[in-house]
A = this chain, B = another copy of it.
């Protein structure tokens, strides 16, 4: 969730045209408290006004490529999307409930990595580190 983010500005800073569709996608991703699947995003947008599913995929790809949005893998089939870390959002781990498919953002401090040494010894390019906790959420435990 990002109430401090000016999506139009975010796009401009990335030198991307701030088209209507892009703003809509970014708003859905950014205003949700946890990551969503491309399908979720498409359905949400569809409710307010028509958009093509492919357009959603393409915009998500674009936003990921430009680092505005993060593609997060789940224990399930589809990728989820959330706002990428920035000055308002520190990188953080996620919890994935294999029962209901809901993904939840965890506190940045809840799981911290001691990986400084690793970065120095690894001889490839590191783009990101993803930490995901899989299990069953409180609601699904009944």
Count contacts on A: residues with CB < 8 A to the other chain: 36
Q: Which residues of B contact A128 (CB under 8 A)?
A: 133-135
Does A131 belong to the interface (CB within 8 Å)?
A: yes
CA separation between A73 and B74, bound complex, in Å? 7
Q: Give 19 A-B pairs besides A123-B138, A126-B134 with Cβ atoms closer than 8 angstroms.
A: A73-B73, A97-B124, A111-B113, A111-B115, A112-B113, A112-B115, A124-B140, A124-B141, A125-B136, A125-B141, A126-B135, A127-B136, A128-B135, A129-B131, A129-B133, A130-B131, A130-B132, A130-B134, A132-B132
| Inter-chain contact B138/A134, CB cutoff 8 Å | no
Task: Give the Cβ gap from A85 to chain B, nearest Cβ, in Å.
Answer: 14
| Inter-chain contact B111/A124, CB cutoff 8 Å | no
CA separation between A125 and B134, bound complex, in Å? 8
